[in-house]
């Protein structure tokens, strides 16, 4: 199988695992579940996100760094930073419940936007499907 296809499969699978885990942890946050404090729940997301990042870097190497000059790739990276900040607020312990909920919803929306950019290869993302 082509290296690109392997890396893309790893990247897409780890992105799905990452958002699924985030949603589960957000659910636990909303319900004040003690599961949120368990050791595997604190470690596993870092492993999944590391695989996600490494596969993204592998894809960039495979396709050539010219992709960084593409506007859609710049938007994905910028939105990734927004997603990380929202995620830190949503799952952080020092924020109010209403702020956590807002950040949780914001993070999911930003993730969907990033996924749309990945599929459409444009920063317009899901807007292409609306119009």
Asked if 29 and 45 touch (Cβ cutoff 8 Å), the reply is no
Could you tell me the two tokens for 128? 């292409």
Asked if 48 and 15 touch (Cβ cutoff 8 Å), the reply is no
How many Å apart are CA 26 and CA 42, to the nearest integer?
A: 13
Burial class (CB in 10 A: 0-12, 13-18, 19+), 31: exposed
* Domain parsing of the chain, residue ranges: 3-130
Longest dimension (CA), the chain: 48
Give the pLDDT band (50/70/90) at residue 60: confident
How many Å apart are CA 93 and CA 121, to the nearest integer?
A: 36
Give the pLDDT band (50/70/90) at residue 68: low
- Of 73, 71, 49, nearest to 63 by C-alpha is 73
80-106 residue pLDDT tens: 999 999 999 999 989 999 999 999 999
32 secondary structure, DSSP code = T
The pTM (predicted TM-score) of the whole model is 0.88
111-121 residue pLDDT tens: 999 999 988 88
């Amino acid at each position: 199988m082509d290296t690109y296809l392997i890396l893309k499969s790893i990247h897409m699978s780890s992105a799905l695992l990452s958002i699924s885990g985030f949603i589960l942890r957000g659910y636990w946050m909303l319900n004040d579940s003690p599961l949120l404090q368990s050791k595997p729940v604190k470690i596993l997301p870092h492993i999944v996100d590391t695989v996600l990042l490494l596969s993204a870097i592998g894809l960039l190497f495979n396709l050539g760094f010219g992709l960084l000059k593409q506007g859609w790739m710049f938007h994905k990276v910028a939105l990734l930073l927004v997603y990380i900040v929202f995620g830190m607020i949503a799952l952080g312990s020092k924020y109010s419940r209403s702020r956590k909920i807002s950040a949780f919803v914001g993070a999911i929306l930003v993730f969907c936007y990033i996924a749309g950019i990945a599929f459409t290869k444009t920063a317009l993302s899901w807007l292409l499907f609306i119009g």
